[in-house]
Amino acid sequence: MAKIHSLQSISLAFDYCGNIKKDGLGYLSEGLKGLASSLRSIDLNFYGRPKITNKNVKSLGECLESLIFLQTINLNLGFGFYITEEGLKSLWEGIKGLNFLKSVDLNLEGCREITTEALDRFIEDLKSVPKIEKIRIV
């Protein structure tokens, strides 16, 4: 068990996984919080999970907020049809205090409820993170 608490990088793919239940992302987020002192890089792929909602993204944002040493976030929410500006704000709330964050790669392809204006605000907010070097949003 000691090894998992020193994990520095995690990559999980749930793309097209039909068995994730309504609260599955919330449970995952809670589990990842246990890695707060060691995790430096996170790569989560939910591409093609159209039932991901603002509530799910809020849980994810709360999780990210606890990962204080995180340097890299790669998050694929492509075709999350129910994610809106509210979800993007929740994600920002989780990211804004990550002072070691250097890179954000976010796929929102097919998230048709997110406006260009909301996305532009999100990018500007990301630029205010102290050590940010790379922002990529699709």
Tens digits of residue pLDDT in 87-131? 999 999 999 999 999 999 999 999 999 999 999 999 999 999 999
Domain 4-137 has CATH 3.80.10.10: yes
Name the amino acid, one letter, at 128: S
Statement: residue 1 has pLDDT above 90: no
Whole-model pTM: value is: 0.88
Return all residues near 25 (Cβ < 8 A) that are at least 6 apart: 46, 52, 56, 59, 60
pLDDT tens per residue, range 37-91 = 889 999 999 888 777 889 989 989 999 999 999 999 999 999 888 899 999 999 9
